Structure 1
Amino acid sequence: MLFNSFAFLFLYLPVVLAGYFVLARLRPRWAIAWLALASLCFYGYWDWRYLPLLMASISLNYWCAARMLASRNRSKQWLSLGLTANLALLGYYKYANFFMASVDTLLGAPLHDWHIVLPIGISFFTFTQIAFLVDCHRGLAGEYRFVHYALFVSYFPHLIAGPVLHHKEMMPQFERPPGLNAADVAVGLSIFVVGLAKKVLLADPLSPLVAPVFAAQAHPQLIEAWIGALAYTFQLYFDFSGYSDMAIGLSRLFGVQLPLNFNSPYRAGNIAEFWRRWHMSLSRFLRDYLYVPLGGNRHHRLRNLMLTMLLGGLWHGAGWTFVVWGGLHGVYLVLHRGWTAWAGMGLPRWWGRGLTFLAVMVAWVVFRAPDLSTAGDVLRGMAGANGLALPHGLAAYAPYFPGSAQFSGIRWIDFGGVGVLALALAMPLAFWAPNTQEIFRHYAPCGATQRRLHWSWRPRKAWSLAFSLLFLGCLFSMNRVSEFLYFQF
């Protein structure tokens, strides 16, 4: 079920909210169980056959955590069991196809004719539980009721595409007595509408500019390649930012604050800052549970950094394009470390922003491409190696340009469509407009600060009217439901 679907907006969400608030008044403990059950139903709506898989994962990890907490002297053995089970599950469903396809390519003959379907959200609920097990082993997590733990893992606003949750942020909130907070509902709905608008009005219209350019054998020329690369760069930005806002807004309806996961990453002045702003919960996980255990900054820090980014790339998908994308970011971070160590300072802010954005966009080309050959084709097009095409309105003047033999009409970009207009609007919004947490800085948590809303806050009439019109505009634009890009990871 998608957040940007009529079934979710007008059936699932009203029923879940009504049941939660009624039970919160009558039987507060049942309200948490209701929310956990609703989250499992949300997951089962995609494919009920994978619901037992999620429940088995939750039960096994809870049991391993309980055994660790009960027998501290055997904590390592239970941790090993839990980690092995989680990684085996992730490895089978996410990487078995990739491994067998790579073997087939090396041997030149197919060895299998089966295809494993990737359960949606498996990367997020697996990483969430790995972090919990490691913290139990470290003595940083306590014992919780099973229903609270099940809700922590399956909580529907985050289940499909993150953020990767941490127990110390969420468990205390689930243990609070549930109740209706009018200010939470007002702010939650406002943030949700902002996220919905990012997805429906900005990200989705960019899709027609992306798919033809990244198709196999497209051979995009200079303008086509740059527009396609820019379109995907901002499509992914507003798709992921929109999902993050919608998840935060939905969670606020229930009085629960999800951690910030997205903070205007294209404003970053260097690649390290980019990773502090993009998918912040994943960056935190990779740092705390991979980079630091590998040795962190204590020894072999460049090797650890490169290995972390390679594994981070592989986490996003089972394919060589994701490995190369992670390797590119590893190289970027190593070069950034080397520059700051040699020069003693970073680049000037304006130069650093431009260089960081360009490096990130080049890496996104590899990330989006179906294979390395297509990625190389698009990058060659961006470098001008595939020639230069003009819009059809200008193609008639091609004979007047020097070297006119290389000019022809643009094939893959419709300059009369809404996509080019959406791209022209998306770029300044991403670079200069205030982001969601800046807009709601007085009413929503920002960064590590978690402040309760003031009960007396109410939206003004103009505010309510503007967001109502924005919501109606989104509804009228939801004629074609599209999945969030991060669902595939």
Structure 2
Amino acid sequence: MLFISALVALYWRLPGQWRPWLLAAGGTVLLAHDSWIGLGAWAALLLWVALMCGPQWQRKTLMRAVGLGGVLLMFGAYQLGKASHGLIAWLGYAFVSLKAWHLIAEHGSGPLRDGRAASSLAYLLFPPTLAVGPVQRYESFRLELLRARWDGAIASQALQRLLYGYVKVVLLAGYLLNHKLDTLALATGHPWLDTYLPLLGYGLNLYWQFSGYCDIAIGFAALLGMRVPENFNFPFSAGNLQEFWRRWHITVSEWCRDFVFRPILSRTRQYMLASLASMVVLGLWHELSPRYLAWGLFHGAGLVVVHLWGKHMPWAAALRTNALWRGFSWLLTLQFVILSFALTSTPNLAAAWRCLATLFAPLIPGS
């Protein structure tokens, strides 16, 4: 809170041309406070982006491929280090990798060559979204930076949004769910409930924590006169799995759609392959491990089933207008998502399998 107050106050005291540099400096302060090693890793990635986006390269397509390959290698090394427990997670590194990909893939040598070094650096180091997103496109960020004006009504709404975020993180997740309810890890004496309730608690904790931090980021950015995209839109109310992924972690889901799903679909015309590849990439972006690979395949297969159902079942469209079916579809989607938490909340696939076996035991005759 002290950091937000100090940065906002200084931001509005500076001339417009100096504000991007202040934002970059603010992000650097956060990184240095988190870890000097993490700051060094960020510096390496930023220098690589500068090398790819700065000079006027003759062979733009080749250099774009080299640039993206470098980002992928650095992010892969980071994920391998995390998977082997050789390092702790560096603040925001997963998100800056997506932003670096945006800059190189969409703009090539444009941003730095055209005198946009300050806005590009502020984009990569933007303090409100540095830790957990949302992930914004560079051009959208640059326009927001140019249009930034102080507005008392917007500032009031921003403070409300900050309050909502802190209520989610501190009150709902931190105090109510984790402290008072022990993340629903309650000893009911019933094996099925003792397995299911912690998965539900894990999902609620993940949603309240993550969406709460995104509320804080959105409110913080609004105090700087800038809009950033929404990242959550009541995902647990989704009526099917496709809708869930349009509501959950929206900006990263859109990144996967634009940079993985659509290119694969346009080249192969295979929806199944594009969906599976997108969700595998999304899973491994979270963590380079068998359990997140399985999670990606699980959700990818679910998206394929939903797509095939809507495309090949003649009564699917009629069912969507039926209130009873919509309620059943919502419940089925929610249970599918909760089941997927068995893969990410457990330490390995063996533990996840035991968890799922307990949940499905009532459906197996003789179990």
**Normalised TM-score (structure 1):** 0.67
**Greater RCO between the two (CA within 8 Å, min separation 6)?**
1
Residue number in structure 2 paired with 1:92? 77
Instruction: After TM superposition, list the pairs within 5 Å mapping 1:110-259 onto structure 2.
Output: 115-137=86-108, 143-176=114-147, 178-204=148-174, 205-207=176-178, 213=185, 221-259=191-229
In 2, are the aligned partners of 1:65 and 1:78 still within 8 Å (CA)?
Answer: no
* Equivalent residue letter for 1:239: Q
Closer, same or farther: CA 85–323 of 1 in aligned 2, 3 Å: same
The one of 342, 345, 354 aligned to 2:331: 354
In 1, are the aligned partners of 2:53 and 2:109 still within 8 Å (CA)?
Answer: no
Following superposition, the deviation at residue 95 of structure 1 comes to: 1.9
* Equivalent residue letter for 1:372: L
Closer, same or farther: CA 212–237 of 1 in aligned 2, 3 Å: closer
Measured on the aligned residues, the alpha-carbon RMSD in Å equals: 2.5
Residue number in structure 2 paired with 1:367? 344
Following superposition, the deviation at residue 291 of structure 1 comes to: 1.2
Is the helix fraction higher in 1 or 2? Answer: 2
Following superposition, the deviation at residue 96 of structure 1 comes to: 4.4
Residue number in structure 2 paired with 1:66? 54
Following superposition, the deviation at residue 213 of structure 1 comes to: 5.0
CA–CA separation in structure 2 for the residues paired with 1:154 and 1:140: 15
Following superposition, the deviation at residue 297 of structure 1 comes to: 8.1
Residue number in structure 2 paired with 1:18? 9
1:311 aligns with 2:281: yes
What number of residue pairs does the alignment pair up? 351
* Equivalent residue letter for 1:349: R
Work out the percentage of aligned pairs sharing the same amino acid: 25
CA–CA separation in structure 1 for the residues paired with 2:349 and 2:74: 27
CA–CA separation in structure 1 for the residues paired with 2:344 and 2:267: 28
Closer, same or farther: CA 142–198 of 1 in aligned 2, 3 Å: farther
In 2, are the aligned partners of 1:148 and 1:175 still within 8 Å (CA)?
Answer: no
Larger deviation, residues 231-240 vs 325-334? 231-240
Residue number in structure 1 paired with 2:19? 31
CA–CA separation in structure 1 for the residues paired with 2:141 and 2:89: 27
In 1, are the aligned partners of 2:52 and 2:109 still within 8 Å (CA)?
Answer: no
CA–CA separation in structure 2 for the residues paired with 1:97 and 1:39: 23
Closer, same or farther: CA 296–95 of 1 in aligned 2, 3 Å: farther
In 1, are the aligned partners of 2:261 and 2:278 still within 8 Å (CA)?
Answer: yes
Is the partner of 1:258 in helix, strand or coil?
A: coil
In 1, are the aligned partners of 2:111 and 2:120 still within 8 Å (CA)?
Answer: no
- Which 5+ residue runs of structure 2 have no aligned equivalent? 363-367
Higher-Rg member (1/2) = 1
Closer, same or farther: CA 304–128 of 1 in aligned 2, 3 Å: same
Following superposition, the deviation at residue 379 of structure 1 comes to: 2.4
| Deviation string, structure 1 residues 373-417 (Cα, Å, up to 9, x no partner) | 2222322333457xxxxxxxxxxxxxxxxxxxxxxxxxxxxxxxx
* Equivalent residue letter for 2:212: G
Is the partner of 1:162 in helix, strand or coil?
A: coil
